[in-house]
Chain A
Amino acid sequence: MTPTRKKRLILVLMVALGVSVAVAIFLTAFRDNIMFFKSPTEVAAQDYPENRNFRLGGMVKDGSMSRIPNSLKVQFVVTDFAEEVKVEFEGILPDLFREGQGVVTIGKMRNDDLFVAEEVLAKHDENYMPPEVADALEAAKKQQSNYGNYKQEESE
């Protein structure tokens, strides 16, 4: 093997090694760091990652918000009008957080019945509905009406 060829071979091997390390890191980082979006219906069906953060989105149920005295803790209910999830959050809520409006929260489930949020997002634009939330509401509505049709057929 001539010195030039040897040099080239080393270069190619180094590049190949570099690329495979990069791909491995990329895949690991990707697997560990993406976040799934779940609707209340999916959470009710236990379809959510355990012990890991995910995004829960829907509407803040009217009249569901309550504060825990002498703290920044709040509790509210996120609904897609089919299922509901109780959410707890400690901190400052965004300006556009309101009952009856769309919201996305990031956190984990505790004991299957409480979503502990680390972050609450409401959009800057009050007319804006997060697309995921809009889709989730749509899906829940469809499911419900299917269920309704099914019931109707049954009674007929």
Chain B
Amino acid sequence: MLASIGQFLLILSFVVATVLMLVPMAGYFKNNDSMMRTARPLSYLLFAITLACFLILVSLFVMQDFSVTYVWQHSSLELPLRYRITATWGAHEGSVLMWVTVQALWIAAVAKYSRSLTLSQVSRVLSVLGIIATGFIAFVLFASNPFEITNPAPLDGRDLNPLLQDFGMIIHPPLLYFGYVGLSVAFALAVSALIGGQIDEKWIRWSRRWTNIAWAFLTIGIVLGSWWAYYELGWGGWWFWDPVENASFLPWLAGTALIHVQAVSERKNAFRGWTVLLAIIAFSLCVLGTFLVRSGSITSVHSFAADPFRGIFILVLLGIYAGGALTLYALRVNQLRSKDAINLESRETMLLANSVIFITSTFTILLGTLFPMIFEAFGKKISVGEPYFGLMFFLLMIPMAVLLPLGAQMKWHKDQFSAAVRQLMPHFFIAAALTVVTYWLVGGMNVRATAGVFGGLWIVSTSIAQVVKFPGKLNAGFVGMTVAHLGVGLFLFAMSMTEHKDIEKDVLLMPGQTTQVAGYDFTFNGVKQVKIENYQAQQGSILVSQNGQEIVELNPQKRFYPKQQQPMTEADIYPMVMRDIYVSMGEQITDDGGWAVRIYIKPMIRWMWFGALMMMAGAVIALFSKRSKRQEHQQVNQVMQERLEIS
């Protein structure tokens, strides 16, 4: 019964989205105000319907309605309530429904917070968002319907994948989707500007805020994914360059390029075509990522059920969105010609360099992700893994780290490289000296770690110096930038430590046996059987001590979920300020109680994530920038005038 209502609402939402896609846009072309005015109410209606749809699916899970195929496939009678709720987005159908709901939420938010835009602008933006929503609702409706009925209903469900029965599942996917889908707003703004044929500062400033919010969500979504993989997959890695991770990282990189270029195009009539193009690229990569994840065309640890029809459906959507937007771009790009000249030696150039570096990184990683597919077409099976991505990313982040402080140091409009470099020189030596100290403290580092540590210190040192030097500049924009850049520095430093100074040891431990890793003693006191909620576990007891002083008792588990007949490793982690102690159990090796145990010392991993959170915080702080742009604009005009007179 409830499922039929859900089904009905889904169809209704498809109709509403189609109307939103057509009517306000038609109104714009006919110059019909009353048609354009339908955009806002339609947006709110769309959100109300999709939200109701989503909540119905949640209640179907809560009430254990096994007549719904999706519910029995991913839930069971024993599944605890909190995981029944999260199971809603635990697999393909529900997660696409969540995508659609989040999409509708963004559309409603744009409708609500767009008072500063003219009616024709609002109706265009909402209509373009309507196109995207229609496509994805059609995808839910025709290719992944969560309300499908099984008759007769089974008595019990198949249960949720044990890996997804975890706290990380509650927050990671929703936040990531907020970011992913949020980039569609930047895309819609770009496309509707192309339709209108002009972009002004107000437009860019407005879209910049939305991009910042989306980027912040994307950042925290990725961080949570990394944290979750770290403790849940049981083997202590935090990033695997898995195609699915890349699928979230690609839009992030393009988005990073976008928010930096927007800083220029907001101030000046320059790089506007590039801004628009980057917005198109960023969202197209979101859709491409969805294709990679859902079509099963690439092998990945995130094993979503592979279905070629779904893959083709998304590919068609990608073709329509990206193809349509790029065609429009090609037709209109001439009208977006930059009017303001850009000095070579200025912050504008540095921000352009930033976007070039980040877009190069985007395509390098995209190529690595797609190459296995290309080779497959020629009958060769290859995989591209950490060695390729790690090396390429390292090489591309060198110019990023070197140029970042210079970019932040250079003044807008006109400056001199030599003067900026002179200003930064002391920090070069400070960073070098601190790198030597670090090298000595941690006892040697390889080339990549040394470069990473130096780059991190160089960025942190120069960023702090700028705050000290320009206390008068402490407006939200400047603070946001500096916080984000400090985050980049911290991330680089901590990541170099985590990646290159970690210690991993797999050992066979008999009960009572002690092993030493990095100055810590690990005493294995055997395992005991425990039964918790819907699983049984063999829980180990490992006493960690240092110089005879007890630090903590860790209890990693080897869980067994009877329903799915699936074992799972649950690590136990003792987080400390400078390092994590990470213990997980493999399997029982000997009959007299000997277990394979993995012991990990992960230095500074919390700092690494904290650095990424600072980047997110920076983007959020920058939202509160109220600085008057007019004053600055006058200044620009003045400089331009002088230039004209000189030449």
Interface residues of A (CB under 8 A from B): 7, 11, 22, 25-26, 29-30, 32-37, 55, 67, 70-72, 90-93, 95-96, 123-126, 128, 130-132, 135
Contacts and interface: CB of A to CB of B under 8 A. Distances in A.
29 contacts: A11-B344, A22-B360, A26-B364, A30-B384, A33-B387, A33-B388, A33-B391, A35-B385, A37-B381, A37-B383, A55-B383, A67-B589, A70-B508, A72-B507, A72-B508, A91-B506, A91-B596, A92-B506, A92-B598, A93-B587, A96-B567, A123-B301, A124-B303, A125-B303, A126-B564, A126-B565, A128-B303, A131-B299, A135-B381
B623 interface: no
Given A29-B388, A37-B383, A67-B589, A95 B568 contact: yes
Interface string B553-596: 00000000000111111000000000000000011010000001
Given A72-B508, A92-B598, A124-B301, A34 B382 contact: yes
B448 to A, nearest CB: 13
A72 B506 contact: yes
A95 B569 contact: yes
Nearest to B388: A33
B303 A123 contact: yes
B161 interface: yes
B63 interface: no
A36 B380 contact: yes
Contact of A35 (B234, B382, B564, B587): B382
A132 B299 contact: yes
A25 B395 contact: yes
A89 to B, nearest CB: 11
B503 to A, nearest CB: 15
Given A7-B344, A123-B303, A124-B163, A35 B506 contact: no
A92 B384 contact: no
A70 to B, nearest CB: 7
B358 to A, nearest CB: 14
B137 to A, nearest CB: 28
Nearest to A123: B303
Given A35-B382, A35-B385, 4 more contacts: A29-B391, A30-B388, A92-B586, A131-B299
Given A71-B508, A72-B596, A96 B566 contact: yes
Contacts of A32: 387
Secondary structure of the A contact surface, majority rule: mixed
B371 interface: yes
B588 to A, nearest CB: 11
A35 B364 CA distance: 17
Contact of B382 (A25, A36, A67, A70): A36
Nearest to B396: A22
Nearest to B508: A72
B517 interface: no
A93 B586 CA distance: 7
B551 interface: no
Nearest to B392: A29
Could you say which of A25, A26, A32, A123 has the most chain B C-beta atoms within 10 Å of its C-beta?
A26
A34 B506 contact: no
Contacts of A55: 383
Nearest to A131: B299
Contact of B596 (A7, A35, A92): A92
A34 B387 CA distance: 8
Interface string B596-630: 10100000000000000000000000000000000
A14 to B, nearest CB: 11
Contacts of B360: 22
Nearest to A135: B381
A20 to B, nearest CB: 13
Contact of B371 (A34, A36, A67, A71): A34
Nearest to B381: A37
Given A29-B392, A67-B589, A126-B566, A35 B344 contact: no
A132 B373 CA distance: 12
Contacts of B382: 34-37
A53 to B, nearest CB: 9
Interface string B94-128: 00000000000000000000000000000000000
A66 to B, nearest CB: 12
Nearest to A15: B356
A55 to B, nearest CB: 6
Contacts of A124: 161, 163, 301, 303
A122 to B, nearest CB: 11
A25 B388 CA distance: 11
Contacts of A36: 380-382
B262 to A, nearest CB: 23
Contacts of B344: 7, 11
A133 B383 CA distance: 13
A93 B234 CA distance: 12
A32 to B, nearest CB: 8
